Structures are given as C-alpha cells and as structure tokens.
Structure 1
C-alpha cells in the first residue's frame, strides 16, 4: 500500500461479530494487529462502527430489532441492514459496541476518524416494524400537537380518513390498489424516516464526540429518505460518498438520448458537494463490480480507474479511498473486485493505482486547498424529491430535466453546481451564482418564493419548468392561479395544462428572440398567459390545439429575470436557453475542447486549476492559446495537444 502511495485505509465497517462474538464478550486482537501494522508502515486508519450488520446472536435474541415490510413480513438475518432505527434495544446495543470501540481506539496513533455505520438507508429505506409505527406516532404528536392539526395537514376529511384517537395513526399500510397511501401522510413518512435515521446516528456520534473528541466523524451516503445536509450540519465533520461510475451502465435508461454514461456521475458528485464543499470518497470503484446475483459491471478499461479518481477529485473530493484492496473470496460480494484480484499478485489495476499515487504525491497539496467553482447551479429540495416519489404529476420530471440541463451544460464545458433549497438557505448562498435552474418545484413555500424574488431582483436569473409553485409544504394545492407561489416572480399564469402521453402525439415549440428553432415540448405542457407588461414570450407551442400559445416566457424582475418553460426540459430546449442567455465556458477565451472532454474548475487564492477529463477511449484534440502547466506531470503545454483516451490533465 505504501509503495503505491496510499496513506489512509478503512476497516471494520461490518465486523460486529468479530468485535463482539457473543453478547457482552469483546475481542479486539485481530484489528489491534492490523492497526499496529498500519501504524508501522505510516498508514492512517478510519474505523467504521459495525452497526450496519447486527450479528446472529443479536437478531436471534432480540427479534424486535429486525425490519419489517409494509405487508408485515419480517426481514431476517442473512444479508445486511436488516435492523430498524426505532428499536430501543438496537439503539442500546449499538451504543455499547460504539463506546467499547471508542474507548479502545481513542488514543491509537494510527486512528484519525470514524465512519458511522455504513450507507444509511442503502438496501432499504422504508421501515414498518411495530417500533417504527410507535415512533412515527410520537413524531406526529411532536410535529402537530393535536389531531385536529394532523387531520388538517393530511386532508383526512377526504375519503373519511379522519383520525379520532392517536392510536389510529400509523405509517402507511397496505391499501386497496397496491401502494396508494394518503399522499400527505406519505410525505410525512419520508420526513419521519429522515429524522429517525439522524436520531439513530446521533446515538453513535454523541458517544464518539465524548470519548474520542480529537478524531473526526463522517458517514458514507447518498441514499433515499435521508436529509444528508441536516445530518452533515448536526453530526459530522464532513460527508463521504461511495462512487461507482459504472452504476450508470446498469441503471441506464435504454430509451435515453445521447447518454453520458460514467460522465453523468459528475452530476451526482455535485449533489455530494452541496453537502460538503470538500468531501471524502470512501469507496472509489477500482474494478469490475457486482454481487453474486446482481450489478454485473464490466471491468474498467485501461485508464478508467484513474479517470474516475480524478472525476471525484475534480468535483471536490479531498480524500479518495478505493473499494477494495483485495477481492473477497467468499460472500455476496465475491465479484466486487478491488485493486487486487483474489491471488494478490500484480495486475493492471495495481499499476494504475501506483501511477495515481505518484501523481498525487506531487500534486495533492496544491489541489487540497482548492474548491470547485461554478456560476450556474441546479436547485433541488427534499420536499419535492420525497413528494415526487408518489406524485406522478411532477415527480418523474425533475430527474429528466436535471439530466437534460447537465448534459447541455457539460457538453458546452460550462461547470455547474447543485444547491439544495432548505429552511436555512440565505440570499448569500444564491448570489454566488449568475443563473439558477429550478426545474419543477411543485412544492414551494411563500418564504422560498420571497427568497427567489430577492435573488432575481438583485440581478440573478432564475429558470423554472412546468408544474412550478402550485403546492404548499403539506402537499396541498394552493387555491391560487398556477404557478402559485411563483406567480409574481414569473409574471404569468397557466391558462391550462395537460399531460403529453398515451394517445397524445408529441408536441413541439417554436423559439424566437434569437436563432429560430423547433424543439420538443416533453411530457407535460403548461399553456402560459402573460399577466405583466414586463413578460416577453420566447417560444410558442407549434402543434396540438394550443398551437400559437405561449410556451416559454421571461419576465424582467428588478435587475434580473425569471424564465418559465412550460414543459419538461430536454437537452435541445436547455441549449436554446443557454444560447439566448449567452452562457459560454469560463475558459472559452484560451481553451478549445471537443464535446467528449469535461471541464471542471477548482480554485483558491493562488488561482484556478482546470481539470480536463476525457471520457472517450479515443484521444481528444485540445487547443490552448495560452501556455499552461499540467500539474500531474509538470509539463508545459500550449497549442494543439493530444489527450489520451480516458486521459486527464490538470492545468494551472
């Protein structure tokens, strides 16, 4: 490991049955020997609390800790993450193992930090054990205080769902028509799961802060039904993420046009960066991956492991830990290959890791002080993500539009950020960006609308898509003309709307106010009606019964402007707005790049670092009109340069 340039290793995240083979009996010998060897060779160690995998003695003796499906089926021992966060017994036993490990390793010279659990809400992110129903009921009592307020928030008068006793309140349970709960109850369910997960994690972080205050805390995520931003704010020193770019090959929509494949992982990394500007990659893909029965990913081609490593670093990672060192010879993950194969002999991936290690030994200190920079941000929020899991009238649109915008921007070499709109979001958080894209915020509080109005009034540009602003935080529809809370900012109302699916033919829109163009108006159409003299119609629908009606508008608002796009974005329509706003690459005056190369920029007081990442197996021709230095090799570059297939340059 030291020969390859590694400096940090992670251990123990699934090792509960090794540390505590039977209840109350603890042994540390195996990991003591491992940590002593690490220290001897100058390696620092991250210890994982092993609570993602309760041992057999625990689940056999205390079956109440197990998770249960909505249908009432208990999920038993045999995989991982088979517990529920609400079980007081599980919290008690988790606290015991965490405290014993913390006390044992709090002064170990090799230990620098702790990973809490492993991948909260991975595998499963719904919980219906009896303890969960009880905990949800208490959460509702705390949130609403009275049944009258709960009934109002959930709209229970509809279909005679009104609750008259607290004992009647539970998490969503099976209903006629498969999974069709009250939508407002379902939204609160996601909020409860997030709060409950964070409160379980706090059991461990409180102990570690008390016993080992000089060691940092993190956890690895980004999974559903969890407000990772709040977890970071409340509990962690920084956030960690597990990066497997080839997931794009197994979760890939076969109908998607112009897919980005592993390059699309950069958009996910931007969401991680919104939690921690600089973060850790706790698991970076190092080989072909898969369990025995799923996720059968091919082997990375020569150079791809290096490319993916720098993809993570370019987007804000300041620590990269590979998964794994040697491939496991038994268990569900025998095909989740690491840097080494089963035999532990030299292979291509080992040599590639050594190249990366040598490069970062030279360049790492310069990179570490920098942060990713962008002038454009995609806005997201948890309420709409959680509500949209159930509500098909807006939920499916956000991912489609977000991907379309990211494609349009990255292929024009325009870096972008992700920003989550939260209760504590300030005008200063938004003013860092010249342009904000908020594709389909169906739920929009009046306070959020006021913040966006202030941003626009002070010179910002905000871009909305269809289905904007018509719900409050409970998921109730405003009794106001659409787009509800965003009406004043956009200066329009929605005359009528329709889904575009089934027997409906695809609809198009014709753009003016620049180079005329025709693009698709996908999935849903808001027919717009200007309500203010400051509104300019940028595009009209070109087909169906509303042909000629406004489809895209922009409204002068203070020093800025608000755009409203009446459909779900595709790459072409996002490109039309980019061109009309005059957005170009921040390096356009000295750097010409082909479409296959991504540009990312990290910067500090010493200046910017331009990461050039070639996602093609074929070489890319780039042109520099200014002399730059490649930080990874020290070579000075100018004029025409061949960037090798899957190659990386870091220009300063």
Structure 2
C-alpha cells in the first residue's frame, strides 16, 4: 500500500536558513510568511558545523531560538538531519569518510555530499549527531517532522572509496553466498575473469577500456541502492525511537536508488524537489517539446511512491550555481503555474526553495521568493496569491488523488542496466517521452508506475492500458503477471528488445521476446540497431493510419507471427525487411498484447491512441488546446479538474457544460479565456 502525506488542507511552506541571516531579521521574516499563508518551514539540513562545532561538543541553542520564534508566529518546522554536509573538522581528521572517484581520487572538503555511505566511522558520527539533534528538538512544539539527509545520491550516485569496495564484497557474500555462485551470475568464465578469493572482487576500477563486466555494473547499482537505504535507515530508526510523534521523509529523486523500497521501508511518505526549468535548459532535437510541462512526468513518477506527497523544494525563481546550471527568470505567472502543476500531480504540502536568495556561497544565483534587498517583488506577490488561493480551496482538494486509466511502466533493473547497455537503454527514454507527450497533448492523464517484486495483478488491473516499452530484463514470473493483466482485459504495449535478458543480465537462449513470446504470439526473426550509416526503416499501418514516411526509430526488429490469433497491424515499408511485420497485436483472454519492433515515436503513439479509442475524461465537459495540461484529482466523493496553460499566450476553452471554478467561484460556460500561464480548478459533479 503506497504511503501518503496526510493533510486536512493544502499547506504552503518555504525553506529557511536562519544561519544565513542576522537574527534581527527573523521576526519580520516569520511575520511576512504568515501574511502569505506560509505555515511550514524547513531548516537545519546543512548546519552540522553549527550543531557540532568541534568533535563531541554540541550546541543546539541557535536553532532553539529559531524554533521558538517560528512557533510564536504560528509556523511549524521540518528539521533536516545535517548528514549531507559533514564539517571540516571531521573530513580533515578522518579522510576515510570521504568518497572517491573511480580512479581512487579522494573528493575533498568544500562541496556537499562528498562522503561515502560505507565508512563505519562516518556512520558512527552520523548516528551521534542525529541522536543528539533529535534528543534536543523532539519535544519542541514547532517540530512536525524530519527530512533524512538531503537529496540522497545527488551530486554523485557512484561511490569508490576503499570502504565501498569492502562493503560491496560483504553485500555480494550475502547475495550469492559463494564465489562459485557469483562467478556464474557474472559470467566470469568470459575473458578469464573468474574470482578465486573475495579480496579479488571490487567495484568498477580503472581498466584498459572503460567497459566493466556488465553484470558487475548492474550489481554495482543494486549495491549502491541497498547501501544508501541502509545509511538512511540508521537515521530513521533513531527518529522512530526518540520522536515517534513526528513523521519521517526524505527528498529526491536521484540515480541508483530504489526510492520505492526506501519509502516502503523507512518513510511515512516521499518528498520531491520540483524544478520544472530543468526540463528547458538542455536543448534537444524535439520539434514540439513539452518543456517545463515535461516535469509532470517526473511528478507522476513520485506519485507511484506516494499518491499524496510533499514537494520539499518548489522552484520560486531563476536558478543556478555560480558556474553551472543557470535557469532564466520565471515569466509572470509561471511560479503559480508550476505550483499548481505540483498540486495537480499529488502535492498536498508545497515548500518553496527558498525564502530569500543567499548573498554568499555557491547558490547566490539560486533565487528564492525574496531578493537580496528583501523588498517586495513580483515573485513575492505571486506566492502570496498562491497562499490566498490555498486558503480558499485547500480543505477541498487535500487528500484527493490523481486519476488515470493509462500507465507507463518502468523498473529499476532495466533502468540501471540501460545506463550501461546502449542496445536498449536509450530506447526507454525515447518511447516513454513519446507516449507521455502525446497523452499530454491529447488530454489523457497517465501514471508512471514502477514494476516491483511486490507488484500484484490488482495494482495493474486498474489501468485500461499499460506501456512497458523496452524491458530487456524480464523474468518468467513477470511474464506470468503481465499475461494475467492482459487476460483480465488490459491492453499491454511492448517495444523492441523486450525479454532478452534474465535477472543477472544474461541473454536467454530462447527465441525473442523470451518470456513474453507466447503472450505476444511472435518471434523476432532479425534485428538491427539504428546507428551511424544504418537508417531507420519506414513503417506503414495496414489501414493507412500512419503518415507516409513515418520512421521506425532506434532499433528495428523483424517480427515473425507464430500464433494465428496474432494480427499484423503495421509493416516495414523500406529496407531489406520491407513487408515484414513491425507492429502486432494478439488477443488473449479479454485483452490484447501489442508488440512494436522499434522505439515508439509520436506518430506511432497517436495512431495507437486512435486505435484504442482513448479519449480525454473531460471531453464531454470542455474542449481545450493542446498547450493546456488537463488532469483530475478525486477521492470518489469530490472531483476537481485542473487546467494549466503552459503557453505564453491565452488559451481558448470551450465549455460544453457549465462548471464552477474554485479559485474565482465563477460559473464557467461557453467560450472562456485561460490567460498565459493561467490556472483553472473546476469542481466536477459527483
């Protein structure tokens, strides 16, 4: 059962760093927060050097004063454990706590997240500071919860300190029990890599060619995830022991970490850091990109951990460090738009980063709500507007959850394996992006879900259609579950490179797509990676549904029908395999299994949406242009339709039925205009 934050109303918060400001500013800061309906602050996650200025000497008085003043102003506090930034006295005296590059070069003090999770000594120091900190603040009436560390696996998600190599060996001993089992799982007979002593086993190290054993590379990522969770557990256990009345969360998401397992095992709910402009600063070759709207896919992924969650850092201004990242100023209305983007996708506690822009340090250009001068600005006014609106609609919307009949499915093994394996990894991003984008543009809400060992048929059966585009690693147990999903009425979509590896990453000695070949009723007869001088073949739908010249992108598999119940939907129209099946579907039970021998593209996805007859859940209520995101939050008794305009121009909304808009309490009917970056929240009839 997914874990959610429990809020009676939408709450607004902000990250606040009292250690950065003269104490005579605090009172005015907290007063102005309350005027803006900001009732929660996060603090202290980077303050270890203040809490323990010398080894073994603790001083918690500074934050007691900040907590007292926050409480006096009616503001509740989330405290962060400070383990992301060990103090200089610690890293100088005990350099073994530091992380290292794959070459063994130690990462020195002066940044953040420069430690390793495996150092027994660092774990001792972390346990001590967390225990003392929780003891100091557990009874303070302002404190409501704890954030463990900060952005686990941010900055780097690989760890090569000596302590990590040692911990990896212990993890492998527990996983495989014997070197013979390890050698078999890693296929070490290849190139005479066989291990005869545990001391010979390491994480990735420098080699003549930067291409480690792929099975080692997969286990390395599994180890990093387990090790990170183990590190977080040390802290969660202390908080549970000493302050059981407080909730526990952490913020992410970053690589090589199973955040679903982290949430299930340790947290009350998951928290996320939402910076939509990250989707805009890396140029691509997409002719019609989602840009900041694409951040909704990241938020959809968070929903699979916690249907209702906290955004611990919501972008509130231009961002960037002194030497990298650089994001331009949000246009008027975009901060509010992005705030409601988070709310639509399940946020019930929205915490802006940050209250005031820092005047020193690496993040002097990572702007907060207030500028350096502390005078009113348009960001302050925009956040104040959101605060007023939360007062109005917060009690109604809180606790409702996002509604979707379509899901895009992923799993950690294929995500991690695909980082290294260019024969399937890049296909995932292409296909997921194409599906999510076209569903967005056609106003069909979608979830992003993660297949896990604990996933049940009931978890899948609530979706009419599931896209599981390129699961190269596929077990027979997973295939059985997916067959049950199709049998009970689901529409299931696979793409190229499905089912050719087992859980160790070994290629099956069986016809592709391996465990789901029977479900799909096809075999892969031939294939080619589309790269260099090899061009993608054209593909044509047999009934002419696809535009002429549509390419089968990324990878081309030539399919052979093996079951009479399998129908060829589209064929290749060029290359030596012209006329061969490219897209098939097979009826199984009450559903259908579809197989596309390439990466999904926008034209192919559009054709499939039409073939399935998928439509917007609001099609009877209104028409809206593609640049408007549409989604519904509901708990069965109450439902709210969100319209978010990501365009820099007004959008025309045509209402077919009248509906009440919550933010203005206005009855919407006929032709209405949604301003540039505007938001509507409509109450739907039960």
TM-score by length of 2: 0.94
Q: Partners in 1 of 2:364 and 2:638 — Cα distance?
A: 45
1:491-540 Cα shifts (integer Å, max 9, x gaps): 10001000112112332100124635432100100100010000010100
Q: Say which is worse superposed, 387-396 or 604-613, in terms of deviation.
A: 604-613
Match for residue 497 of structure 2 among 467, 470, 473: 467
1:55-134 alignment runs, 5 A limit: 55-134=87-166
Instruction: Tell whether 2:560 aligns with 1:529.
Output: yes
Query: Which residue of structure 2 lines up, in the alignment, with residue 183 of structure 1?
Result: 214
Cα contact 2:546–2:607 (8 A) shared by 1: no
Instruction: Tell whether 2:238 aligns with 1:207.
Output: yes
Question: Residue 55 of structure 1: CA displacement?
Answer: 0.4
Match for residue 592 of structure 1 among 623, 634, 642: 623
Instruction: Tell whether 2:414 aligns with 1:374.
Output: no
Q: Partners in 2 of 1:23 and 1:315 — Cα distance?
A: 44
Q: Partners in 1 of 2:427 and 2:511 — Cα distance?
A: 21
1:182-581 alignment runs, 5 A limit: 182-253=213-284, 255-513=285-543, 515=545, 517-518=547-548, 519-581=550-612
Question: Residue 248 of structure 1: CA displacement?
Answer: 1.1
Q: Partners in 2 of 1:512 and 1:412 — Cα distance?
A: 24
Q: Partners in 1 of 2:263 and 2:40 — Cα distance?
A: 22
Q: Partners in 2 of 1:650 and 1:166 — Cα distance?
A: 60
Instruction: Tell whether 2:83 aligns with 1:51.
Output: yes
Question: Residue 236 of structure 1: CA displacement?
Answer: 0.2
Cα contact 1:552–1:563 (8 A) shared by 2: yes
Q: Partners in 2 of 1:538 and 1:435 — Cα distance?
A: 17
Cα contact 1:287–1:299 (8 A) shared by 2: yes
1:541-581 Cα shifts (integer Å, max 9, x gaps): 01111111100000001110000011111111111111111
Q: Partners in 1 of 2:584 and 2:480 — Cα distance?
A: 20
Q: Partners in 2 of 1:489 and 1:175 — Cα distance?
A: 42
Question: Residue 400 of structure 1: CA displacement?
Answer: 1.0
Q: Partners in 2 of 1:412 and 1:154 — Cα distance?
A: 45
Cα contact 1:413–1:599 (8 A) shared by 2: yes
Report SS of the residue matched to 2:420.
coil
Cα contact 2:547–2:603 (8 A) shared by 1: no
Report SS of the residue matched to 1:92.
helix
Report SS of the residue matched to 1:302.
coil
Query: Which residue of structure 1 lines up, in the alignment, with residue 56 of structure 2?
Result: 24
Cα contact 2:536–2:555 (8 A) shared by 1: no
Q: Partners in 2 of 1:485 and 1:605 — Cα distance?
A: 38
Q: Partners in 2 of 1:605 and 1:103 — Cα distance?
A: 42
Instruction: Give unmatched runs, 5+ long, in structure 1.
Output: none
Cα contact 2:491–2:593 (8 A) shared by 1: yes
Query: Which residue of structure 2 lines up, in the alignment, with residue 149 of structure 1?
Result: 181
Cα contact 2:319–2:327 (8 A) shared by 1: yes
Instruction: Give unmatched runs, 5+ long, in structure 2.
Output: 1-32
Q: Partners in 1 of 2:428 and 2:495 — Cα distance?
A: 9
Q: Partners in 2 of 1:375 and 1:514 — Cα distance?
A: 27
1:92-123 Cα shifts (integer Å, max 9, x gaps): 00001101110111111110000000000000
1:13-42 Cα shifts (integer Å, max 9, x gaps): 100001111111111222111111110111
Question: Residue 605 of structure 1: CA displacement?
Answer: 2.7
Question: Residue 251 of structure 1: CA displacement?
Answer: 2.7
Q: Partners in 2 of 1:563 and 1:257 — Cα distance?
A: 27
Report SS of the residue matched to 2:78.
strand
1:351-407 Cα shifts (integer Å, max 9, x gaps): 001100000011011110200010000000000000001000000110111000011
Cα contact 1:119–1:219 (8 A) shared by 2: yes
Change (3 A) 1:516 1:440: closer
Q: Partners in 2 of 1:479 and 1:114 — Cα distance?
A: 49
Q: Partners in 2 of 1:109 and 1:331 — Cα distance?
A: 32
- Which structure has more RCO (C-alpha within 8 Å, separation ≥ 6)? 2
Question: Residue 258 of structure 1: CA displacement?
Answer: 1.0
Q: Partners in 2 of 1:325 and 1:349 — Cα distance?
A: 11
Instruction: Tell whether 2:176 aligns with 1:163.
Output: no
1:177-222 Cα shifts (integer Å, max 9, x gaps): 1x21000000000000000000000000000000000000000000
Cα contact 2:357–2:367 (8 A) shared by 1: yes
Cα contact 1:408–1:574 (8 A) shared by 2: yes
Query: Which residue of structure 2 lines up, in the alignment, with residue 12 of structure 1?
Result: 44
Instruction: Tell whether 2:168 aligns with 1:136.
Output: yes
Q: Partners in 1 of 2:365 and 2:62 — Cα distance?
A: 25
Report SS of the residue matched to 2:34.
coil
Q: Say which is worse superposed, 380-389 or 510-519, in terms of deviation.
A: 510-519
- Count of matched residue pairs: 650
1:571-611 Cα shifts (integer Å, max 9, x gaps): 11111111111111011112101011000111013232111
Cα contact 2:356–2:372 (8 A) shared by 1: yes
Question: Residue 285 of structure 1: CA displacement?
Answer: 0.2
Question: Residue 440 of structure 1: CA displacement?
Answer: 0.4
TM-score by length of 1: 0.99
1:263-314 Cα shifts (integer Å, max 9, x gaps): 0000110011111111100000000000000011000000000000000000
Q: Partners in 1 of 2:114 and 2:360 — Cα distance?
A: 20
Cα contact 1:359–1:633 (8 A) shared by 2: no
